[in-house]
Each structure stands twice: as structure tokens, then as C-alpha cells.
């Protein structure tokens, strides 16, 4: 029981329970809290690939976008069912990341990064130009949140920001716990061995290409789920969600929080990113400049991220 009380998950859950109430302190609003969790989820899934498998994908925003578009299109053309939409978001992102993953899983290093960039640009262009399906440059807008319906229980409306927040929190906690489980399992240890020395991992008998593929696809599915949730949050999806600059952002954010050395780093990074975006965005429309300079400072001064910095100061104390 004592171990349970000290587990980070418990404290994080408690913090997240009150987080929406803290938003007004930074001139934010409840929906911001949802966005933090969604982006943190995106970054957590991405970190599985970046930090635990050692593969720097510069195209993951594509799968985020595919998840969002899939959710939107499901709602518009097929059914307003919440679960179906989320499922389609994950499945579509999974299918495309599975295909791309299969093509790139025998490569590594910069080749892999450039390949992910090339593929994500292809997806971006399709979203940008295929007006009939994706709405082109103007995207798909005006989507509403379907109610949350579980068998045997009355439907709960998610239209209110608090209701949606707690739904997001539930999804986030489940995803976080699943990724944690994955990372601390034999499968996770194989990913780490690939990151440390892929050749040796092959030579102890692992089909490294397959494991890389799995890691890529799983992180793709999580990205898709995050994208679908983002759509529910904002009610709209635009091709810019899939731009390479968004892909670069998630890499940056994951590292900034300390993702390279700590499981929870991406969550911290995601939170800071969303808050900065909104807090700075409230003061100046040129928040991208401030964000860019923060990125530069972090990369140059504390590449191991914020959690890494805390670890450093704790060690020297």
C-alpha cells in the first residue's frame, strides 16, 4: 500500500484532477488543460520511438493529422458514435504508420529521419490538395462532440469543457499506463537494446527490423488517438496539423521536458509547450519567436531537458 501511495501515477492523477482549476491562474481556461493532456499523450507515444528505440522520426505529425482527419470524416460521413470515431482515428493512423514503418524499418539514423520526412510531406500534400475529401486548405470544421455512451449507462454529454476534460484525463491515464507497461516489459528491453547497439541486438537473435516496425506503429497509433482527441477538442482539423514543423515541434517538446532520460519528460514538455503557446500567444502574436528562442536555449544549454537539469542539480546538491 505504501508503494502505491508513492507511485508517480497516483500523484500525477491527483495533480491532473485539480489542474483545470489552476488554469485561470495563468489566464487560461479549462480547455487548455485538455489540450495539455492531449499533447502530452502525443509526446509520450512519440518518445517510445525517440528515446526508447532511438529512432528520430521527423514525420509523426502526419499520423496525428491522419487520426484527426479520420475522426472528422467518420463523424461527417459515417456515424456520430464517439468510440467508432476514436477507433477509426487509431486504426487509420495505425495502418499508415504500419505501411511507412514497414518501408523504413530496415534503415536507421539520418536515412530513417529523412524517409519519415518525405513520407509525412506526402501525407501533408494530400491533405492540402485533396479538397473533396479533406477540405483542402480550409480543412474540415464545425464538428461537434458526440456524447459518451457506455453500455447500460445513460449517455454523458461531452460538450462542456469539464466533462470533456475528465474524459480526456481518463484516456490519458490509460494510455500512459499502457506505455509505461510496454516500456518496462521484455519488449521494452528489446527496444532499448536496439537503441544501444542495433548490430549487437541482431547478433543476440532479435529481428530488429520487426521491433522497430512495432515501435513505429505503436507510436503512430498513439499519435492518431491524440489527433482524434484534438479534433474533439477543437471541432476542426487543418492540413497544418501535419506539417513538418509540427513534427519538429513534437521532437523538440519531447526532448525539452527531459524525455531522453525520463519517462515523464514528454508530459512536462508537452505541458510547458501548450502553456507557453497560449500564455505567450495572449501577449504577442509573435510567440513563435519566443518559443523558437526557448528551444534554442534548451538545446544549447540543457539538452537533457528540464528533468535532466533537475537531476543534475539534485546530484550536485
Q: Is 78 in the site for another protein (CB under 8 A)?
A: no
Cα 179 to Cα 296: distance, rounded to the nearest angstrom: 29
- List 121, 235, 310, 311, residue binding another protein (CB under 8 A): 121
Sign of CA dihedral 97, 44, 222, 37: negative
Nearest distance in Å: CB 92, another protein: 19
Please, which residue, 142 or 205, has the CB nearer to another protein?
Answer: 205
167, 172, 171: which is closest to 40 by C-alpha?
172
Cα 265 to Cα 305: distance, rounded to the nearest angstrom: 8
Nearest distance in Å: CB 12, another protein: 20
Helices (H), 184-207: 186-196, 198-203
Cβ atoms of 95 and 154 closer than 8 Å = no
Nearest distance in Å: CB 243, another protein: 8
Q: What x-and-dash track marks residues 247-266 binding another protein by CB under 8 A?
A: -x--xx--x-----------
CB neighbours of 36 closer than 8 A, spacing ≥ 6?
Answer: 19, 270, 271, 274, 275
Residues 157-216 binding another protein (CB under 8 A) are 181-182, 184-190, 192-193, 196-197, 199-208, 211
Q: Is 289 in the site for another protein (CB under 8 A)?
A: yes
Binding-site size for another protein (CB under 8 A) equals: 61
- List 275, 295, 302, 311, residue binding another protein (CB under 8 A): 295
Cβ atoms of 228 and 71 closer than 8 Å = yes
Q: Is 122 in the site for another protein (CB under 8 A)?
A: yes
- List 12, 91, 118, 309, residue binding another protein (CB under 8 A): 118
Amino acid at each position: 500500500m505504501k508503494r502505491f501511495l508513492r507511485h508517480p501515477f497516483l500523484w500525477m492523477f491527483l495533480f491532473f484532477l485539480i489542474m483545470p482549476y489552476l488554469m485561470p491562474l495563468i489566464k487560461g481556461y479549462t480547455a487548455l488543460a485538455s489540450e495539455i493532456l492531449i499533447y502530452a499523450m502525443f509526446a509520450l507515444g512519440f518518445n517510445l520511438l525517440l528515446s526508447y528505440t532511438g529512432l528520430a522520426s521527423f514525420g509523426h505529425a502526419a499520423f496525428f493529422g491522419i487520426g484527426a482527419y479520420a475522426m472528422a470524416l467518420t463523424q461527417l460521413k459515417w456515424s456520430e458514435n464517439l468510440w467508432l470515431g476514436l477507433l477509426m482515428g487509431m486504426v487509420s493512423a495505425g495502418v499508415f504508420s504500419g505501411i511507412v514503418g514497414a518501408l523504413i524499418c530496415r534503415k536507421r539514423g539520418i536515412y530513417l529521419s529523412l524517409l519519415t520526412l518525405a513520407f509525412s510531406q506526402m501525407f501533408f500534400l494530400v491533405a492540402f490538395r485533396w479538397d473533396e475529401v479533406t477540405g483542402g486548405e480550409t480543412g474540415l470544421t464545425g464538428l461537434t462532440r458526440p456524447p459518451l455512451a457506455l453500455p447500460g449507462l445513460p449517455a454523458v454529454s461531452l460538450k462542456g469543457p469539464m466533462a470533456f476534460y475528465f474524459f480526456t484525463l481518463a484516456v490519458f491515464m490509460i494510455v500512459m499506463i499502457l506505455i509505461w507497461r510496454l516500456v518496462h516489459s521484455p519488449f521494452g528491453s528489446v527496444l532499448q537494446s536496439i537503441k544501444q547497439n542495433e548490430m549487437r541486438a541482431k547478433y543476440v537473435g532479435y529481428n530488429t527490423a520487426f521491433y522497430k516496425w512495432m515501435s513505429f506503429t505503436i507510436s503512430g497509433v498513439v499519435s492518431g488517438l491524440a489527433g482524434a482527441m484534438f479534433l474533439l477538442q477543437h471541432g476542426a482539423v487543418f492540413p497544418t496539423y501535419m506539417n513538418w514543423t509540427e513534427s519538429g515541434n513534437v521532437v523538440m517538446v519531447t526532448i525539452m521536458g527531459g524525455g531522453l532520460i525520463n519517462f515523464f519528460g514528454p508530459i512536462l514538455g508537452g505541458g510547458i509547450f501548450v502553456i507557453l503557446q497560449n500564455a505567450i500567444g495572449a501577449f504577442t502574436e509573435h510567440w513563435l519567436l519566443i518559443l523558437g528562442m526557448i528551444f534554442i536555449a534548451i538545446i544549447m544549454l540543457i539538452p537533457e531537458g528540464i528533468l535532466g537539469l533537475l537531476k543534475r542539480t539534485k546530484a550536485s546538491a
